[in-house]
Amino acid sequence: MAIPLRKLTGIVFLLFFCPPLSQPLMSNRCPSHESQALLRFKAALNDSSNFYLSSWVNGTDCCTLWIGISCDDNTNHVVSVETLSFRGTPGTTIPTCLANLSYLHSLYLYGHSFTGTIPTFLCLLTRLTVLDLSDNYLNGSIPSCLGNLASLSDLSLGNNQLSGRIPASLGSLSLLRELRLYNNQLSGTIPPSFAHLSSLIELSAYGNRFNETVSSLSLPPSLQTLYLSLHHYQSISETFFHNLTKLSYLYLSDCVLNISTTWIPPFDLSELGLGSCMIDGEFPPWISTQISLEALAITNASLVGVIPSWLWETSPQLNYLNLSGNHLEGSLFSNTSSWMKLQELDLARNKLSGCIPSMWPSYMSILLLNDNLFSGNIHPNLGKLSNLNMLNLANNKITGVIPVSLSNCSLLIVLNLGNNSLEGSLPYEFSKLSELYSLVVHSNNLNGSFPSSIANCSKLQVLDIGNNLFEGQIPTLIGNISELKVLIMKENKFTGSIPLEIGQLKHLQILLLSSNHISGSIPHTIVFLQAMANESQNGFVLSTYINGPVYQDGLDMILKGTEQHYQYILSTLTSIDLSSNELEGKVPSNFGDLKGLRLLNLSMNNLNGTIPKSFGEMHQLDSLDLSRNHFSGQIPTELESLSFLGSLDLSNNHLSGSIPQGKHMTGFGESSYSGNPNLWGCPLPRNCSWPEFVPSPPPIYINKIKKSTKYPWYAISLGLSFGMAFGGIISLIVIKISWRNEYFNKVDAILKFLFPWMKNLTL
């Protein structure tokens, strides 16, 4: 849906309101007490970047020189304040000095991390027509005195933590045109008084906790946009829509649609979204009456049957179609020429089968067909989609080769063909995909050598070719993919040694080369993997991989789609897995320089020498597996300082001497040390004085974070919309602890998927 588009107003604003650089000297129009109030406001906002508010300088004319301020042409009073969205200091409340700006018509304070309640002094600014407090952390209830703002036309309170009931008093705002209350914790229902809001054209109230009947309300017939989540799958019938003849944008979620197959709606929609609305049947026939439809999303709605062929004939304007997460079956028509305007298609997670059509509208930018039962080949014609940004065909039954022509889709950002039955090689020509950020082809039957030409994909950050039949050496040019953060080549037939050039990958956080036939020693350059060397590993800032807001939609998409798995992983995880190869020689003695490493698996190789003392410096290590090698000598006592260690396996080596008796070391089971004939001390039975009492292992770091499921996950992707994208996901998470909890819960699930041993940990 088009909701995030509003975020772009910020940019437009900047362009329009930038004052000319060489401002001729003119009288200072700005009323002094108002400019002083604004300066106090600036001080309270603490714009640490000093970017947006740097033009607010004491003594200069706020009317003409200050970005974001405008004054009345006649009275010179400040009438509009719009401080562009930037992260403020968490904990800041909306400053009371704004009360001095009594002539304000418009107050935009979105996206500043404001906390506390909505201050009632705002109710005294009776000239306000626009009040935008969205994207903050405001809590408490909506003050009923907002009903006094008789001129109010646009009230935006979305993306906060407001609770309580909506004040019925808002129903008296007869000039109100747009009311946005989405993503809060409001309870009760939409007040019946809203039926009298005769000017209301937009009501956005999805993502709340309404616990009373919403579906029997009457809403004003002026409504053009209605975004609503119902409570507990309330049933919505035709009468609900009876008077809504002007409706153009409709989004409902968590409802049960109780509508007859012969219904002819009184409206003609441009956008229709039904998310998690139980339809439990075939495609609703009344949609065929919606001839102006441009965007249609019916997701997670238990839709069955086939996608009706009339869809394209009756809604020729359709450019966005999202039917993901249903039970749709059957095949897609081979003749897609009637899908003329289609740009984004998401049919993921259905039971669609048959071949993937060869002809697609040329403007396609997003094509997500993953998690279905598609078979057959990828037609070379797909290479004609020169606007394609995202192609996800993962988790199907696709056979044949990867067409070389895909290399002509020069705008591809994400290409995921994982978990199919593709064979043949990875096209050499993929080097032309200069925008590619993520290339995932794992779990296929691809063979041949890995084309070093891929090194030309200079923006590549995620490369996953694991679980295939690739052979030959790991190309030295791998070191040239300088942005690489994830390199997964596990479970192939690679031979030769790990190239020294691997150490050039300054951003690499995940290196999985396990289960190949890689020989030689671990290159000493491995300690140059800088992203794994920083102890306070904070992950990377998302906005760095896609330049600016141009690809913002794509960015949101990546988060929402399957690529999110990597996002979650990347933000916390650093991992090296070289297990089950033929590596030999000593581990570099300064290996412990990788102080940010969380998971290290070197098991099932022929490594020898002693365990480097420097391992004791990897303070963030969660899991260390050195089993089934030829390590000898004593276990260094330095390992006792690995207090986060949740899993340790040193078994089946030639270690000798006593096990360091620090509590972390003895907390692991006997199996962590078994198979070392000359090793003794607890927890091994050999001269252990307290074999019957074994303390449980220390919890690993994610255990310590309490579960909280209160916050919806989409909050995070919302936070990434324009403005906040600069801060990146991590900073947001740090600001708001409940997001953080939710975030780590996701991470748990992903970690368990990638690292199955974690399942055994009690979370």
Ligand X SMILES: *[C@@H]1O[C@H](CO)[C@@H](O)[C@H](O)[C@H]1NC(C)=O
Instruction: Between 130 and 414, name the residue whose CB sits nearer to ligand X.
Output: 414
Q: How far is the CB of 90 from ligand X (least distance, A)?
A: 9
Q: How far is the CB of 573 from ligand X (least distance, A)?
A: 13
Q: Which residues pair with 374 in a beta bridge?
A: 354
Instruction: Between 48 and 120, name the residue whose CB sits nearer to ligand X.
Output: 48
Instruction: Between 130 and 406, name the residue whose CB sits nearer to ligand X.
Output: 406
Q: How far is Cα 69 from Cα 600, in angstroms, rounded to an integer?
A: 55
Instruction: Between 127 and 472, name the residue whose CB sits nearer to ligand X.
Output: 472
Q: Which residues pair with 471 in a beta bridge?
A: 449, 493
Q: How far is the CB of 316 from ligand X (least distance, A)?
A: 20
Q: Provide the residue type at 1 as one letter.
A: M
Q: How far is Cα 562 from Cα 5, in angstroms, rounded to an integer?
A: 22
Q: How far is the CB of 209 from ligand X (least distance, A)?
A: 7
Instruction: Between 130 and 682, name the residue whose CB sits nearer to ligand X.
Output: 682
Q: How far is Cα 701 from Cα 550, in angstroms, rounded to an integer?
A: 37
Q: How far is Cα 657 from Cα 181, in angstroms, rounded to an integer?
A: 66
Q: How far is the CB of 39 from ligand X (least distance, A)?
A: 4
Instruction: Between 129 and 647, name the residue whose CB sits nearer to ligand X.
Output: 647
Instruction: Between 126 and 239, name the residue whose CB sits nearer to ligand X.
Output: 239
Q: How far is the CB of 15 from ligand X (least distance, A)?
A: 27
**Residues found near ligand X in the complex (CB under 6 A):** 36, 39, 46, 48, 58-59, 89, 115, 117, 139-140, 187, 211-212, 218, 239, 242-243, 275-276, 278, 297, 299-300, 322, 324, 344, 346, 366, 368, 383, 404-405, 408, 431, 453, 455-456, 477, 480, 514-515, 557, 560, 579-580, 601, 603-604, 623, 625, 647, 649, 680, 686-687, 755, 757
Burial 478-508 (b: 16+ CB within 10 A, else e): bbbbebbbbbbbbbbebbebbbebbbbbebb
Instruction: Between 154 and 254, name the residue whose CB sits nearer to ligand X.
Output: 254
Give the pair of three-digit tokens for residue 659: 């096990």
Which strands make up the sheet holding 678-680, listed edge to edge?
A: 519-520, 582-586, 606-609, 630-633, 654-658, 678-680
Burial 179-196 (b: 16+ CB within 10 A, else e): bbbbbbebbbbbbebbbe
Instruction: Between 169 and 431, name the residue whose CB sits nearer to ligand X.
Output: 431
User: What count of other Cβ atoms lies within 10 Å of the Cβ of residue 232?
Assistant: 9
Instruction: Between 211 and 337, name the residue whose CB sits nearer to ligand X.
Output: 211
Residue reference for tokens 């507990």: 232
277 close to 255: Cβ distance less than 8 angstroms: yes
Task: Classify 232 in phi/psi space as left (phi over 0), alpha (psi -120 to 50) or beta.
Answer: left
Q: How far is the CB of 485 from ligand X (least distance, A)?
A: 18
Q: How far is the CB of 324 from ligand X (least distance, A)?
A: 5
Q: How far is the CB of 540 from ligand X (least distance, A)?
A: 20
Sign of CA dihedral 207, 208, 214, 219: negative
Q: In Å, what is the CA distance from 78 to each residue of 18, 109, 137, 711?
A: 17, 15, 26, 38
Instruction: Between 150 and 517, name the residue whose CB sits nearer to ligand X.
Output: 517
Q: Which residue is nearest to ligand X (CB)?
A: 218
Q: Which residues contact 132 (CB under 8 A, 6 or more apart)?
A: 107, 108, 109, 110, 154, 155, 156
Q: How far is the CB of 139 from ligand X (least distance, A)?
A: 4
Which element (helix H / strand E) includes 632?
strand 630-633
Q: How far is Cα 11 from Cα 25, in angstroms, rounded to an integer?
A: 28
Q: How far is the CB of 74 from ligand X (least distance, A)?
A: 25
Q: How far is the CB of 129 from ligand X (least distance, A)?
A: 27
Residue reference for tokens 């714009």: 47
Task: Classify 171 in phi/psi space as left (phi over 0), alpha (psi -120 to 50) or beta.
Answer: alpha
